Structure 1
Amino acid sequence: MDREFIFTDRDFQHVASLIHEQAGIHLPLQKKDMVYARLSRRLRKLGLQKFRDYVAFLRDHPQEELEELINAITTNVTHFFRENHHFDHLANTMVPHLLKNTESKRVRLWSAGSSQGMEAYSIAMTLHSHLPKTGWDIKILATDIDTNVLDIGRAAVYEKTQLDNVPRSYTTYFEDGPEGDTIRVSQEIRRLVHFKTLNLLEHWPMKGQFDAIFCRNVVIYFDKPTQAKLFARYADILKPQGWLYIGHSENLSSISDRFETVGRTIYRKAS
């Protein structure tokens, strides 16, 4: 098949090694076509003729281009209330636990790998809808390595078709967006969510512990040793018996013994 740019296995290995080193993402050779598709736009924008030139550009401009590389490779397929059984558990199990056991009325959740913010806003809508409207200090941390998707999350403006995935009772948390075919998350929900750039493999600046962590469809890109280290760190930063929600294709059974299964892709920190 004729391609616009020459992309050898050696070029791929260089890009894959850099991505693994900087972001922990494991890219086997089977992902070569995906990498080609996602990076071709960068080559066009930079006026380069082949991937060997891009590899050289990465070597010569690591600070400027590394962020662009990671942004291009990481996937951002998401929508509101994706894997909605997690939000049912949040409303029907976690919220009653908080009401019964949280004297401080302080609630902290983390959306790790938050992409465009739809997951974090879904968490915020669920908590706002089921917890008392006054007296509670609710904060959701939304982090991602991709700075572009964080900008989308902060703006909180989405295509109107995204409402198709929102339960009817939650549609009041949206207002008209700046353009006719857009919507925006309301201020009362936006104020609960705080977006930060974070590479999960690097230092975590958070000091307090979390009631729950959402890390869904993120670790599938990491190798097993990296996954094990990451889940150990999650266990360390969760409150006793805190909850962990993972993606539909992920499983902790052979990776971590610090969590117990309490539902479909729902775990609780072991005592």
Structure 2
Amino acid sequence: MDKWQQQEFPMTLADFDFLRNLAYSHTGIVLPERKKQMVYSRLSRRLRTLSFKTFSQYCRYLETNTQELPEFINALTTNLTAFFREKHHFVHLDKQICPQWLANKQKRIRIWSAACSTGEEAYSIAMTLYGRIDLNLFDLKILATDLNTQVLETAKKGIYSAEVLPTIPANFSSKYTKPLPKTEHFSIKQRIKDLVHFKQLNLLQPWPMNGPFDVIFCRNVFIYFDSETKKRIIKKFRTLLSDGGYLIIGHSESINDFAADFEFVGQTIYRAKQRSAPFLSSHLQQLQGAE
């Protein structure tokens, strides 16, 4: 007998195909055969919660109960993150990008943390810039989005385990965090929280924002997409980036196959090439028509 039929919750090949096709259609995440154990492990929690005995029951439930779809997506999506993860990106933001804004006296600054998970990336960006930019002179806003509604609730609260406090540079943690008495947690201070606006967003669905953004962080996301999905999202990023704006991706990712609109400027850091206004207008119309 197939080992998947001997598990706590039997899963047939048809069940797995249904689940991975559903995940792909709604999130763009590709789940090959080798991810079957991960799918089983993460969704088993939902089956226990719903008192189902088999994955076939759960698949039928998904077909008839649309309200379960967010729970399904939340269970499947990966949320590994950390404060100042891939530190060189924040060094580049501090030492290379920010001085350009100051030199150009650029008053409006917009940054997007796509796939922000529980908020550590967005707050790391805010801490990096808070002491470098005079908020009385500059209009700085950070948009942070994620597909997973549960992690966004954690992000909005800005409360984290004291165990991760050492991952924040000491000069930042002393100024921008505060311990929560009688707990093993700390909170991000309000002045940092005020710079970040958290919103739920599915990268495969229409994007409500107009841009332009000066920096887009989209790290460790493309590894879950197939080539066509990746290409489509990169093109949409370009339409929302200002000329000379930056796209920052994860350490194991590359956009070289789709990088005609970008130039490589640093480790997994790309800068948007100059484009004419008519081209961008036409390109944006094409993308909107394809959605």
Q: What TM bracket, shorter-length normalisation?
A: over 0.9
1:127 match: 129
Give me the whole-angstrom Cα distance separating, in 2, the residues matched to 1:255 and 1:35: 30
1:192 match: 195
| 2:242 alignment partner AA | K
Residue 131 (structure 1) shift:
1.6
Contact 1:157 1:182 in 2 (8 A): yes
Residue 271 (structure 2) pairs with residue 268 (structure 1): yes
Residue 73 (structure 2) pairs with residue 70 (structure 1): yes
Give me the whole-angstrom Cα distance separating, in 1, the residues matched to 2:79 and 2:271: 26
2:101 match: 98
1:180 match: 183
Give me the whole-angstrom Cα distance separating, in 2, the residues matched to 1:32 and 1:244: 32
Give me the whole-angstrom Cα distance separating, in 1, the residues matched to 2:53 and 2:181: 39
Residue 133 (structure 1) shift:
4.6
Q: CA RMSD in A?
A: 1.1
Identity among equivalent positions (%) equals 46
Aligned to 2:131, the other structure's residue is in SS state helix
| 1:208 alignment partner AA | G
2:33 to 4, 29, 32: 29
Inter-CA distance 213–3: structure 2 relative to 1 (3 Å threshold): same
Residue 218 (structure 2) pairs with residue 215 (structure 1): yes
Contact 1:232 1:256 in 2 (8 A): no
Inter-CA distance 53–108: structure 2 relative to 1 (3 Å threshold): same
User: What is the TM-score when the length of structure 2 is the normalising length?
Assistant: 0.90
- After TM superposition, the structure 1 = structure 2 runs for residues 7-86 of structure 1, keeping only pairs within 5 Å, are 7-62=11-66, 64-86=67-89
Give me the whole-angstrom Cα distance separating, in 2, the residues matched to 1:178 and 1:252: 45
**Which ranges of structure 1 fall in alignment gaps of 5 or more residues?**
none
User: What is the TM-score when the length of structure 1 is the normalising length?
Assistant: 0.97
**Which ranges of structure 2 fall in alignment gaps of 5 or more residues?**
275-291
Give me the whole-angstrom Cα distance separating, in 2, the residues matched to 1:243 and 1:154: 25
Aligned to 2:204, the other structure's residue is in SS state coil
Give me the whole-angstrom Cα distance separating, in 2, the residues matched to 1:19 and 1:197: 17
Runs of 4+ in 1 over 3 A off after TM superposition: none
2:153 match: 151
| 1:56 alignment partner AA | R
Kindly provide the CA deviation profile for residues 8-60 of structure 1, in whole angstroms up to 9, marking residues without a partner as x: 22111100001111111111111000000000000000000000000000001
Residue 178 (structure 1) shift:
6.4
| 1:50 alignment partner AA | T
| 2:71 alignment partner AA | E
Give the length in aligned residue pairs. 269
Bigger drift between 171-180 and 26-35 goes to 171-180
| 1:251 alignment partner AA | S
2:282 match: none
